[in-house]
Structure formats: C-alpha cells, structure tokens
Amino acid sequence: MAYYANPYMNQYSYMPNPTAQQPAQQAGVNWVQGEAGARSWLCAPNTTVLLMDSESERFYLKSSDASGMPLPLRVFEYKERTGEAKQNPIDKGSYVTREEFEAFRQELLYGKPEKRGGANEPAV
C-alpha cells in the first residue's frame, strides 16, 4: 500500500495566528518621573500598580477596571520616621473608675438606693 501526500495540505508548517501578549507582571519597583509619568503608565485590566516617583517623596497607586479604563490616580507622600513615636498623655479626667462604674451599674440594675434615717424620714 502506497502512501501519498495529501494534496489539500499546506506545504508549509502550521503556525497559529499571533495574539496580543499580556504585559508581564514586574516584581520589582516601578519608577516614574513625576505625576505625568504615573498618569501615562499603562495598566492591565483589573490590576493595581505601585509606582514610585524618582523626583520627589511620593508614590502612586494606579488601577484599572475590568474594561481597562483607568481609575483616578491615588497620590501619597511619605517621609522617614526617626526614633520612637511620642504617645499622647492620657487624660484621666475623662475616664470612669471601676468603683464609679459598679455604682452606676448597680443603680441601673436595681434602681437608686434609698437613703434611710434622713431628716425627712423616720428611722426604721
């Protein structure tokens, strides 16, 4: 039995149609020059990208929705934190002590305690 080449087969090897490549996710830091550079950064649909400003102490979060339309650019400023953060002193006049709380709780649960033996009431 003889095998013959298929006359309907293309003589060139099959190559699929080229498709648009997805942008590769960059694991490093993305640097831009100013806010204009951040606004012009292309962002894939449904992603958020952190962009660091190389000209000032700012960084940007650029996001896009499902259709690829960019959302408003979020701008942040950062500064170096040196030393311990100072804590604000606690104003103890605005807090209730445990004894005051328990007295108030007893008053709510059982009503106001009646004073006996006062000037207007006879002692029992």
| Model confidence pLDDT, tens digit, residues 9-64 | 666 655 555 555 545 555 578 999 999 999 999 999 999 999 999 999 999 999 99
What pLDDT does 10 receive?
A: 61
Average pLDDT over residues 108-113: 82
Q: Which amino acid is at 28?
A: G
Who contacts 25 (Cβ-Cβ below 8 Å, separation ≥6)? none
Give the pairing type, strands 30-32 and 48-53. parallel
In a domain, 54, yes or no: yes
119 or 105, which is more confident: 105
On whether residue 25 sits in a domain, the answer given is no
Task: For residue 62, give its domain range.
Answer: 30-77
Is the residue at 61 inside a domain? yes
Query: What does the mean pLDDT of the chain come to?
Result: 79
58 in a structural domain: yes
Count of domains forming the chain: 1
For residue 22, being part of any structural domain is answered with no
pTM: 0.47
Any domain includes 45: yes
The predicted structure's pLDDT at residue 33: 94
User: What was the pLDDT predicted at 72?
Assistant: 94
Residue 64 lies in a domain: yes
Beta-bridge mates of residue 59: 52, 76
